[in-house]
Amino acid sequence: MTASLYRAVAFDLDGTLVDSIADLAAAANAMREALGMAPLPQARICTHVGDGVATLVHRALTDAHDGEAPQALWEQGFALFVQHYRTHLADHTRPYPGVTEALGLLKQLQLPLAVVTNKSSRLAMPLLEQLGLAGYFCMVLGGDSLPEKKPSAMPLLHVAEQLGLKPGQLLMVGDSANDVLAARAAGCGAAVVAYGYADAATLGADHIVTSLVELYDLLKNESH
């Protein structure tokens, strides 16, 4: 995969565009407190993030990556989590350094930009709006937007189709194995950020960037 093929960029949200772990952890612990459970360390909750809120609630209730809470408890926990999180989306969440600058530079190149996240679109869109990022993107796909979410190829194939591109002309930028697996399954390029919630060097991406600004150098010849 060479950079000269890329004609659009899809971004993960949490851990890639924004550092949201403090607000996610606060919502998880508010849920646990309401259910009479002791709080979990923020670093522990960080290991449970990446597969959407529904899965995060299971993991936060059981404190196990493969944990599955009883249905009634999960339903109660999910409602509590979303109730808290929806009203505290951006208390502490901020774009990572360089994100706003990078999005502006990429827009100058007239490259279509999309968000492909496993976070519910009902939470992702308000968060992007509150942080002033929504206007950079022509499309936002949440984990509930299509029948399948990352690591499925479906979201990236949908983006490519909607933009009239071949999958190989789309670069997926994320911070997790789900992002790279989705890119590989779809036939897209894969880039990961070095500052995200996983060890970038272990993910097997085509590109590792320490700042999203570096994407400008990677892609600046795309519009010529």
What is the per-residue DSSP string for 2-25?
-GGG--EEEE-SBTTTEE-HHHHH
Q: In what helix (H) or strand (E) does residue 81 lie, and over which residues does it extend?
A: helix 71-86
Going by C-alpha positions, the residue among 126, 130, 182 that lies closest to residue 10 is 182
Tokens coding 192: 């990961």
Which of 46, 182, 199 has the alpha carbon at shortest distance from 114?
A: 182
> Which residue is catalytic, options 12, 175, 179, 206?
12
Tokens matching residue 84: 């808290």
| Residue 23 among the catalytic residues | no
The Cα–Cα gap between 122 and 181 comes to 24
186 neighbors 157 (Cβ within 8 angstroms): yes
The catalytic residue positions are: 12
